[in-house]
Structure formats: structure tokens, C-alpha cells
Amino acid sequence: MLEKRRHMRVKPSGLVPKVGKIYVDAKSPTVDCQVIDISAGGACLYVQGTAPIPKRFVFLHGGAKKSSRLVWERGRKIGIQF
């Protein structure tokens, strides 16, 4: 089955960082994550640890902060939209 996506996703390689952080608020520690694939409109991440992922957060990746929302979650693998 083909998925209809607005943007083509690519696996990070070369100079694109393979890791990111999820920032919820000043009182909560950041959550480390591995970037599985990323596009201009979202990303697929593997989240480290057991902390629950909120519906809205800031995704820190490669020096950029992106306001994000959780789209889907399967175990520790999540899909986000910027």
C-alpha cells in the first residue's frame, strides 16, 4: 500500500544529525531520540527511555527548534508533524 505524504522522507546521512531531543517544558528533562527518517513536514523517531511523550512539544534537531505534535505511536517508535 502506498502512503500519500506531502513531503518525501529520507534517512539522515552525511551531515544530517541522526539524533535529536524532545523538549517538553522547563521543568521536564529533555528526551533523547534517534531520527529514523525526516522530511520538511515531519519525522519518524525512536524515543529513548520510558518517559511518556506528550501530544505537543518542541523537537530539537541539528540546531533547529521545531514546534511539533505527536501523530502516531507504536511502542517507542513515534511519528511527528512539524
What's the CA gap between 57 and 72, in Å, rounded? 14
**30 domain residue, yes or no:** yes
Range of the domain at 64: 19-81
Q: Which residues of the chain have pLDDT under 50?
A: 1
Total of domains in the chain:
1
- Residue 45 is placed in which grid cell? 523517531
82: Cα within 13 Å, side-chain hemisphere: 16
**9 domain residue, yes or no:** no
What's the CA gap between 75 and 78, in Å, rounded? 8
DSSP 62: T
**13 domain residue, yes or no:** no
**11 domain residue, yes or no:** no
